Each structure stands twice: as structure tokens, then as C-alpha cells.
Chains A and B, each alone.
Chain A
């Protein structure tokens, strides 16, 4: 009896060893995919390029100190859908492809224009795929060209792109946000766009510059989608307006020129933003009151104003507000007139405050949005004006105190 009990106990000990382990995989048997790009060929086939960290060479680099060996490996395959592409990538690899640490997904311009509706499902379905992956559009080029760039400042371009997005001064959209926004009514998704640029063109002749491969990346602005299709881009300035209009302005600067009666300009860094949108219907026209409360610090003052004087500060504040409003209006007009798509979520605002109205508008929201009117009220508080009142380098009698 007792022997039997011990026997059972022993069998129990073997249980984890026999049933476990099946999905065990050592870290050095994995290939960490850092970034993926998806492109469309001219004849309509999907092209996937993946970038994996090359650990073997990094190990040598890490210990030896000196450079050498490639830090990343880039592989490209062509296929029908994501599973097919994955399969083909795996056939090229001695290690298991591991996509849980992928930080960016880059969509080539042609594919983005063609529409990305049919390729996104796999990214939400595969448990290994992370929804926190940033989605980026390669402007004017294919995604694989972006991945080719040997970015100088980071281990690999994927990390660089991830960190750029994280800084948050430009549009940063993850797969999760993209999908959620797509699934919502009254708002259309956007994504950041990235451009390979040539950095070391200084001192090169025109001809040499053209031959030189791009060696840097630039996260510039916003790609606008309508029905999962790329319809256009917002430039850097307009992206600032978009960020302000979606209440995400946590970092970024505005510059006030045209300060009444004073030559020069003033630069401000925004540190806080609170946005309130109030939609209403008047004379059968949709109107929005946009109330924006922001705080910021002055970082540059190229006028002769002494900013420690409240009345001078008032002038600068007004100019800054105007500048910010201009920027927002530029973005609004781009969305209304160029793309005819609501990327800000004004439709959502209507839906929240007046669901009945929204029901009647829903069907032709894009047109209605293009005709909507906006009034913008900005309440800007300057918290700090830096270490000096007037610029330190100008003479005392040049400083305008009042």
C-alpha cells in the first residue's frame, strides 16, 4: 500500500517532464524580427521584408568592441497573404521567426494607396503579433527601401523608428489604435509617414548627391486614410495642427511671427493641452466650438520685448494663439478641402453629444464634415519665459519695456 503511494508520487513527478516542454524554445534559437515592411508589386503581389537582429555578430561586437559584421539581416519574399509570406520567410531561416518583439510595420506607398483592409487581420489574430507595433507609411517609396537604410544612431532602423514614434511630437499610431479608429464611426485613421533622406550631402556635388544612398530616416508627418486607402499626406506643420486638434499636444513647439508692431519672432514649447469640442447645429449647418487650453514655456525670443513685463507677455501670447489657430485652421482646411475626410473625430463628438443627429448625418458624414464650420478659442498660458526677460545680447536702450 505504502509502496503504491510512493509509486504514484513518483509518477506525478514525471508528469511535468512528459507533458511539458512542448513549446519550449531557447532564446538563441529565435530570430527576433524587429521590423516588417509590406509592399505591393506592380503586378499585384505582396512583398514582405523583415529585419531581424543578427545576434551572432552583435555578440562579437559586444565583446571585441570593434565594429564589423552586420547588425541586422534583411530578407524579402513575395507571396499571396501574410501566412504565405511568413512561411516563405521561415524557409530561409535556421531559427524560429519570432515576431513578438517587432516594433514597426512599414507599409509601402503603393500598397497603402491600394488599400490595407485585407492585410490587417493577421496582425490582430496572431497571438505572437503585438498590437503595440507602430504602423508607418513609407512616403514615395517602398517599405523595403526604408528598411535598407543603415540608420546611424541606433542599433537598427527599427529601434530608431520606434523611438522616433515614442517621442510623440509627430503622429504615432500603433496597430491597435489604427484598428480601433477604423472600427469606429465618425473618425478615420491616420498613420505617421517616414521618409528615407540623404544626410551627408553637404559639400557633395549635385551628381554625387544623387548617387548617394539615403542614410537617414525622417518621421515627418501624417498619412491620411479613407476607407483603408491612403488619400494623402499632412506635412509637418499640418501634423502639428492635427495633434493639437486631437488633444495630444504634449510636446512640440509653435512659433509666433507677425507680432503686431514688433519685428522678430517668439518660440514656445507646449507642455500641456486640454481640448474641448462642442458641436451644435445652427440654420441647418454643423458648427463646432473648439476650446483649447494650453500651457507652455517660451524658449526663444528674437524680438526686443522684455518678456518679464506682463503687457509684453500679453502681446506675445496673443500672437502665439493666433499662430496656433492658423496652424489648426490649415489642418482643418486640408482635411475638409483636400481629403474630405474627418481624421479628428468630430463625428464622434456629435455622436456623443447628440446621437440622434449623428444617425441622420452618418451616411454622408464626409461631405457634411467638409462643409462644417469651426470657431476656435485658444486659452494659452505661458508658464515660464526662460532665464531672461529680454534677449541678453541686446543693449539696454533697445529693450522695449512697455
Chain B
């Protein structure tokens, strides 16, 4: 099926694929007008210069910087003195290179497809009568958004700039943080029609070759018509598609990318999206926020434990509530049980149905809140809070404890720093509730076992997903169980198997004594 799809694509281009430019400019023009038929944004401009050489300029008006185009191409060609013997285009190119330094990235091409491609990327193609080559000058000028605060990963302390939809700017943001020639950036083009730029970034000498090689292999084997977001790439390169857990990290924070590259991971930048992919990803990295590393380590450690606690709550609280109140009433303290029973007195539904109704309504509220225009969302949240929080309880449709459980679960879910990981937990809650409502604690335990088995067997680019807990790597627990202070983070994570495990030289623990010795 794939094979068919590609061959179809190829036939569309097969005519021009092998075609070289002719020396006749009218014929060349004909080729391009055929290619760009009904492309109203493509401009063909013919003119003559002093020696009566016919020139043809092809460009896309919206993609280029017109002023730059004029000063770099039009003016030198039309008004300034030309050297004699403008016989072929390579001399024009020479001229550009020698005299007009502002024309960077100029090159000559002779294949029609290549020229077409470059024009579509914002180059200006200059063709001349009697030449079977075209000069291409990069005068690309894209409208782009300014740097803004990250919208999905907010921090209180830490850099406040986020990636934008332009790959070049994004790579610059990364380079700003890692000013070393060892930061390697390899470019790929993906998407038969979209021709999207994609870049793999890693630090030479830290990231393992096997992982880099694997990323190259997986990325370059992607065959797709267009790439709109890095999510497309993610689904092509992950290890196990049938898993609720994300196996590729995504972030819109340049500092996160830089710090992960320092740990020996590999980043994948995709043009037209602010979200950068990082591999490999582990279960625990989903529970780490970049701010953990900027704040004091004691605080970060305790915050991490709160996250672990609330991860469990987000995943198991509704199911435990359902299991305990419908099967194991003996496990609830007497007075609590009586309170629950009183609250449930008028509720017509079984606890399972009640939990599902409430969870689904909560999810609906959440989804509506994300998609709604900002102006309307406030009205909706009031309606949601009033209807569910009060009216439903007063009407006896749901019980207060269930509202509390769902609310705590909702809050708990928001404590997970990785949004897509939180979504996995959000999704898994439902089978857990159903298991709890049908099999009681036995079902909950079955669910936990299944989840553990799944997570422990999952791998992200060869790195066990649940590491360093399983397989246990004691040294790596320094960044999971606690967040060691920076001067004690002496080694890189062993589980990623990086080339250079040593990270920070030992003996840098600050103390009043050290200053004296130093002086």
C-alpha cells in the first residue's frame, strides 16, 4: 500500500524529474509556467539588461524580502555596470559573490525540480538566455511570531522564552544555550508535499552513536505527504504505538532541550511547530519539571514526592473509592463510612455509574475549557461549577464524596508536569474505574499489575521506560527519588548509556572552609 502511494506521487513529478534546463529561455519559462500553473503567488518577471541578455526571475512574492531582493538582485543587474562577456550564468554568480556580499547562499542549479523546490522555499531563481543553469539567491523572509512565554510549561523561576514555529529561530535558541561545535545539527526534509525541514540535534561525545543512528534511521524512513506538527513524527518513531504512555518527550522550552542534550539525549526539531521532540523518554522524566533544577534541591525533592503521590491519586483514587464503597465497606473507618452512606442515601445510581458520570462530565468540562474562546470559558466554568458542584448534589443525583473524589483527581492530574503523560493517566483512569466497579480491589490490583507489566516492558529507543526503578540503577536514583544538588550530580544517567558519564567534577560542595583554602 505504501509502495503504491509513493509511485503515484512520483508519476506526478516524473516529467520534470529528470529535466534539465535548456539554453533557451522561452522554453525554460514554458517549463516553469507549466509547473506553477494556477499558482498565483508565483511571480515570473522577464527583463533585459544592457547587453540585451534576456533574464527571467522567478519567485514567490509573499515569501521573500522585496527590498532585499531589489538591492541584491535587481539593482546590480539592471543599473550597475556589468563586466564584459556576460556569457554564462556562472559569471553572474561570480559577480554576485565578489561584489554584492549581501547575497548569501547563492548557488547555481540546473535541475528543474531542484529549482522549483528552492523557489518554493523562498529563493529567487534567476535564469538567463543561453544558459542551462539558474542562479538561486536566498532572500527568504517569513512572517514569524515573536518569542513568548511557554504556554504549556510554565515556571516561576527559569527562562521564560519558548520555541516558535520557525525551525531556524528554534535552532538559534538552542545554539544560544550550547555554544560548542560539539552541538551537532543534522538536517532532513520530510513530507512528499510539505517538504518540511527537520533537524536532529545532539552533543557529539555525549550522546551514544547507536541512539543517534537509530534516530537517523527512523526519521529518514518516514514516508508521508505532509508534516504539520512534531506529533506526526512522534507517532512514526515511537517504539510501541499501542501504549497510552508517550515514549517521546516533547517540550517548547529551549532550556529543557539543552539540558536533555547534556544528559546524552537527542532532540528532533520540526519546522512549523514550537514543540521539539526529545528521545529517549522515561516514565520518571515525565514527572520532572525544569523548575526542579532551578529551585533549591530540598524543595524540589519534596515537590517531586508530592507529584508521585498525586500521580497515584490521579490514577487510583476514583477506582479505590468505587471499589471500597461497593465491595469492601469493612475497610473504611466506621464514621467515614457512615458519612459516605448518608451522603449516598438519595443517589439513584450505583457508585460505578456515579463515578463514570462525574469523570466524564469533568473531562467534558476540561475539554470544553481548552477549546472555547477565552471570553466564553469563564461563563462555562461558572455553569460547570454551579451545576456540578452544587445543583447535582442538592438534587441528589450525585453524592458529595464523589464530587470531592473527582475534584481531587482532577487537581492531581494537573500536578503532572508533562501534559501528554497526564493525558495517559487521565485515560487509564477509566478502565481502572470499570475494573474497580466490577471486580473490586481485586480488579484494581489486576489493573495495577497490568500497568506495571506494561510500563516495565516498555522501551523508548532501547532505554527501559521505567528505569532507573526497573531495571534498578541505584546511581540514577539521585534524580528520581531525590533531586541531588548540582554539585553532587557528578555522573550522567547511566541508563541512557552515554559516552561520557562524568558530568560535574566532585568536591565542589560549597562551605565556608573552601573559600579560605582557595585564598
Within the complex, which residue of B335, B345, B350 is in contact with A56, where a contact is CB–CB below 8 Å?
A: B345
Overall SS of chain A's interface: mixed
Q: Is A361 an interface residue (CB 8 A)?
A: no
| 4 residue pairs, one from A and one from B, having the closest CB atoms | A20-B438, A100-B330, A16-B438, A27-B341
The reply to whether B329 and A24 form a contact with Cβ atoms under 8 Å apart is no
12 interchain pairs, CB-CB under 8 A = A21-B437, A23-B327, A24-B327, A25-B326, A25-B327, A27-B326, A28-B344, A30-B329, A30-B341, A58-B342, A59-B346, A100-B329
> Nearest B residue to A18 by beta-carbon distance?
B438
The reply to whether B347 and A28 form a contact with Cβ atoms under 8 Å apart is yes
Q: Is A397 an interface residue (CB 8 A)?
A: no
The reply to whether A103 and B334 form a contact with Cβ atoms under 8 Å apart is yes
Q: A26-B326, A27-B341, A58-B342 are in contact. List 8 more A-B contacts (CB 8 A).
A: A16-B443, A26-B325, A27-B326, A27-B329, A27-B337, A34-B334, A59-B345, A159-B335
Residues of chain B within 8 A of A28, CB atoms compared:
341, 344-345, 347
B residues lining the A interface (CB < 8 Å)? 325-327, 329-330, 334-335, 337-338, 340-347, 350-351, 434-435, 437-440, 443
- Rounded to whole angstroms, the CA-CA distance of A58 and B338 in the bound complex is 9
- Report how many residues on chain A are interfacial, defined by Cβ distance under 8 Å: 26
The reply to whether B325 and A27 form a contact with Cβ atoms under 8 Å apart is yes
Residues of chain A within 8 A of B443, CB atoms compared:
16, 20
> Nearest B residue to A21 by beta-carbon distance?
B438
Q: Is A32 an interface residue (CB 8 A)?
A: yes
CB neighbors of B among A13-56 (8 A): 16-17, 20-21, 23-28, 30, 32, 34, 53, 55-56
- Rounded to whole angstroms, the CA-CA distance of A55 and B435 in the bound complex is 29
- Rounded to whole angstroms, the CA-CA distance of A58 and B335 in the bound complex is 12
Residues of chain B within 8 A of A21, CB atoms compared:
437-438
Within the complex, which residue of A16, A30, A130 is in contact with B435, where a contact is CB–CB below 8 Å?
A: A16
The reply to whether B345 and A101 form a contact with Cβ atoms under 8 Å apart is no
Within the complex, which residue of B330, B351, B439 is in contact with A26, where a contact is CB–CB below 8 Å?
A: B351
> Nearest B residue to A130 by beta-carbon distance?
B330
Overall SS of chain B's interface: helix
A residues lining the B interface (CB < 8 Å)? 16-17, 20-21, 23-28, 30, 32, 34, 53, 55-56, 58-59, 62, 98, 100-101, 103, 128, 130, 159
- Rounded to whole angstroms, the CA-CA distance of A17 and B343 in the bound complex is 26
The reply to whether A27 and B340 form a contact with Cβ atoms under 8 Å apart is yes
Q: Which residue, A16, A27, A28, A98, has most C-beta atoms of chain B within 10 A? A: A27
Within the complex, which residue of A23, A24, A55, A101 is in contact with B342, where a contact is CB–CB below 8 Å?
A: A55
The reply to whether A16 and B434 form a contact with Cβ atoms under 8 Å apart is yes
Q: How far is the CB of B328 from chain A (nearest CB, A)?
A: 9
The reply to whether B342 and A59 form a contact with Cβ atoms under 8 Å apart is yes
The reply to whether A55 and B330 form a contact with Cβ atoms under 8 Å apart is no
> Nearest B residue to A127 by beta-carbon distance?
B330
The reply to whether B330 and A62 form a contact with Cβ atoms under 8 Å apart is no
Within the complex, which residue of A17, A32, A98, A101 is in contact with B438, where a contact is CB–CB below 8 Å?
A: A17
Q: How far is the CB of B438 from chain A (nearest CB, A)?
A: 3
Within the complex, which residue of A17, A55, A101, A128 is in contact with B334, where a contact is CB–CB below 8 Å?
A: A101
The reply to whether A98 and B439 form a contact with Cβ atoms under 8 Å apart is no
Residues of chain B within 8 A of A55, CB atoms compared:
338, 341-342, 345
- Rounded to whole angstroms, the CA-CA distance of A30 and B346 in the bound complex is 14
The reply to whether B439 and A16 form a contact with Cβ atoms under 8 Å apart is yes
Q: How far is the CB of B243 from chain A (nearest CB, A)?
A: 15
Residues of chain B within 8 A of A53, CB atoms compared:
338
Residues of chain B within 8 A of A27, CB atoms compared:
325-326, 329, 337, 340-341, 344, 351
Q: How far is the CB of A74 from chain B (nearest CB, A)?
A: 17
Within the complex, which residue of B337, B344, B435 is in contact with A101, where a contact is CB–CB below 8 Å?
A: B337
The reply to whether A98 and B338 form a contact with Cβ atoms under 8 Å apart is no
- Rounded to whole angstroms, the CA-CA distance of A21 and B442 in the bound complex is 12
- Rounded to whole angstroms, the CA-CA distance of A255 and B220 in the bound complex is 90
- Rounded to whole angstroms, the CA-CA distance of A27 and B350 in the bound complex is 9
The reply to whether B344 and A26 form a contact with Cβ atoms under 8 Å apart is yes
Q: How far is the CB of A50 from chain B (nearest CB, A)?
A: 15
Residues of chain B within 8 A of A98, CB atoms compared:
329
- Rounded to whole angstroms, the CA-CA distance of A148 and B357 in the bound complex is 43
Residues of chain A within 8 A of B327, CB atoms compared:
23-25
- Rounded to whole angstroms, the CA-CA distance of A17 and B350 in the bound complex is 14
- Rounded to whole angstroms, the CA-CA distance of A53 and B337 in the bound complex is 11
Q: How far is the CB of A129 from chain B (nearest CB, A)?
A: 10
- Rounded to whole angstroms, the CA-CA distance of A101 and B329 in the bound complex is 9
Residues of chain A within 8 A of B350, CB atoms compared:
24, 26
Q: How far is the CB of A276 from chain B (nearest CB, A)?
A: 37
> Nearest B residue to A32 by beta-carbon distance?
B338
- Rounded to whole angstroms, the CA-CA distance of A17 and B352 in the bound complex is 12
- Rounded to whole angstroms, the CA-CA distance of A101 and B346 in the bound complex is 22
Q: Which residue, B329, B335, B341, has most C-beta atoms of chain A within 10 A? A: B341
- Rounded to whole angstroms, the CA-CA distance of A58 and B345 in the bound complex is 10
- Rounded to whole angstroms, the CA-CA distance of A62 and B440 in the bound complex is 30
| Given the contacts A24-B350, A28-B341, A128 and B326 also touching, CB distance less than 8 Å | no
The reply to whether A32 and B341 form a contact with Cβ atoms under 8 Å apart is yes
The reply to whether B344 and A128 form a contact with Cβ atoms under 8 Å apart is no
Residues of chain A within 8 A of B435, CB atoms compared:
16
> Nearest B residue to A101 by beta-carbon distance?
B334
| Given the contacts A16-B439, A27-B325, A101 and B341 also touching, CB distance less than 8 Å | no
| Given the contacts A16-B435, A21-B438, A62 and B337 also touching, CB distance less than 8 Å | no
> Nearest B residue to A98 by beta-carbon distance?
B329
Residues of chain B within 8 A of A100, CB atoms compared:
329-330
> Nearest B residue to A16 by beta-carbon distance?
B438
Residues of chain A within 8 A of B340, CB atoms compared:
27
- Rounded to whole angstroms, the CA-CA distance of A23 and B329 in the bound complex is 12
Residues of chain A within 8 A of B330, CB atoms compared:
100-101, 128, 130
Q: How far is the CB of A66 from chain B (nearest CB, A)?
A: 16
